[in-house]
């Protein structure tokens, strides 16, 4: 009497073949922390589900100056990434312990806001995604991956199999602000990487989460910093710009108004943290 199907492919190859065969109506599930509550609660009734826990994607390798993370690596695995402290911090601030043992780096890319904080950290690090289908593989930047609320650049039949993160050359900082200090959705999350040549900023990446349809870059804030010194004046200007350009929403934990205010405060605090680390 149960018509549901659950596929548990043992390799990426098998997974992409299943996806090609069953098409876009198959729900692809990583750690299950987003999909399973909806199924348990009777909100969604997917007839075909593919779980990726056995697809051989739980790995972290570190070839020359790059960290390569299999999409099914858990957030707990990220706590060991000593090379990139902001990924450790970002991972630690997702859920509680058991959720971190289940939630995956790949899954976090698909978490609807205000979830998806880890993806914001990846965005600040200029992560690239490897997308694989039966037709082959391609690499896309995480910034270009998102196309709208719950929509991505994934083509039918494609899976995110790997996240490639260059070891940051700049200074980084990460701050998540929620209504409590752990296991809570973000009011706003800020991840930043700033490259400095002496006093001047040569390159900056500021990613925000929970203030847009998906993790976003604060491009205007980045432009303000570019070529400027990183000091309280430029930091304030960048923070104001970020608050202006973000697209916050209201939900159970904060209003659009408050989120925008907090973008300004937290971009400032994040950038100040970077200057403090000099």
Residues that bind other proteins (CB under 8 A): 1-6, 8, 31-33, 36-37, 39-42, 45, 49, 51, 53-54, 76, 95-99, 101-102, 177, 179-185, 250-255, 257-258, 261-262, 265, 269
Shortest Å distance, C-beta 262 to other proteins: 6
Q: Which DSSP string corresponds to 208-259?
A: EESSSSS-EE-HHHHHHHTTSB-SHHHHHHHHHHHHHH------SS--HHHH
Give the 3-state secondary structure of residue 271.
Answer: helix
- Judged by CB, which is closer to other proteins: 137, or 265? 265
Pick 200 or 257: Cβ nearer other proteins: 257
Q: Shortest approach of other proteins to residue 30 CB, angstroms?
A: 11
In the complex, the smallest distance separating the C-beta of residue 12 from other proteins, rounded to whole angstroms, is 17
Q: Measured from the CB of residue 261, what is the shortest distance to other proteins in angstroms?
A: 6
Handedness of CA 12, 97, 152, 8 (dihedral sign): positive
Q: What is the nearest approach in angstroms of other proteins to the Cβ of residue 215?
A: 18
Residues 6+ apart with CB under 8 A from 161: 12, 57, 70, 71, 106, 130, 131, 132, 137
- Strand, coil or helix: what is 140? strand
* Contact in structure between 217 and 205 (CB atoms under 8 Å): yes
Nearer to other proteins, 2 or 64 (CB): 2
Q: Cα–Cα distance between 164 and 69 in angstroms, integer? A: 6
Cβ(216)–Cβ(117) below 8 Å: no
Identity of the residue, 165 or 173, whose beta carbon is nearer to other proteins in the bound complex: 173
Residue 169 CB, shortest distance to other proteins, in Å, is: 30
Q: Which is nearer to other proteins, 119 or 131 (CB)?
A: 119
Instruction: Specify the residue, 54 or 137, whose C-beta has the smaller distance to other proteins.
Output: 54
CA–CA gap between residue 214 and residue 110 (Å, rounded): 9
Question: Counting every residue, how long is the chain?
Answer: 278
């Amino acid at each position: 009497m149960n018509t549901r199907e659950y596929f548990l492919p043992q390799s990426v190859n098998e997974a992409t073949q299943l996806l090609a065969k069953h098409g876009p109506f198959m729900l692809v599930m990583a750690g299950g922390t987003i999909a399973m509550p909806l199924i348990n609660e009777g909100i969604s009734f997917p007839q075909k589900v593919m779980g990726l826990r056995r697809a051989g994607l739980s790995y972290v390798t570190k070839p020359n100056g790059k960290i390569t993370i299999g999409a099914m690596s858990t957030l707990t695995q990220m706590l060991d990434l000593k090379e990139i402290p902001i990924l450790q911090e970002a991972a630690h601030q997702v859920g509680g312990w058991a959720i971190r043992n289940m939630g995956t780096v790949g899954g976090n890319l698909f978490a609807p806001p205000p979830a998806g904080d880890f993806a914001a950290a990846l965005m600040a690090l200029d992560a690239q995604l490897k997308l694989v289908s039966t037709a082959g593989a391609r690499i896309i930047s995480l910034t270009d991956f998102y196309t709208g609320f719950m929509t991505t650049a994934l083509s039918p039949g494609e899976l995110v199999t790997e996240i490639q993160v260059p070891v940051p050359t700049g200074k980084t900082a990460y701050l998540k602000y929620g209504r409590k200090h752990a296991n809570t959705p973000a009011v706003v999350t800020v991840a930043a990487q700033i490259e400095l040549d002496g006093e001047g900023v040569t390159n900056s990446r500021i990613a925000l989460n929970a203030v847009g349809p998906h993790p976003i870059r604060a491009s205007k804030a980045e432009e303000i910093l570019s070529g400027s010194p990183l000091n309280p004046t430029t930091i304030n200007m960048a923070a104001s710009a970020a608050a202006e350009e973000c697209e916050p929403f209201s939900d159970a934990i904060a209003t659009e108004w408050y989120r925008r205010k907090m973008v300004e405060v937290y971009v400032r605090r994040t950038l100040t943290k970077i200057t403090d680390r000099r």
